[in-house]
Amino acid sequence: MIEALKSDEIITKVGGRFKLCALIQRRLVQLMDGARPMVERHGRSDLEIVIDEIMQDKLRPEYDLTDGPTLASLSPSQAQGLAASAAGQLPADFPA
């Protein structure tokens, strides 16, 4: 087993297990499509390469905050429903 996966350091470095899984998957696809590793291979598998890239801070998730709806793109009732759901309550007339 890959030693870095035994501790929570790599999980906290990336921001959670699901983000780690997505990051590893995206990088594995890149390597399989011919991208060059950012660390020396030394006979290691692609998965070991990706883990090492993350641990050496050569690979980290990028967040695109422009994706998804913004409050400006929502109708007034949708924005009200979103705000209410964030507060834990929905208005009685909010469509399900």
pLDDT at residue 95 above 70? Answer: no
C-alpha dist (Å) from residue 79 to 62, 65, 67, 95: 27, 18, 17, 12
Token code pair at residue 84: 């209410």
pLDDT digit string, tens, across residues 48-89: 999 999 999 998 887 665 655 554 555 666 666 666 666 666
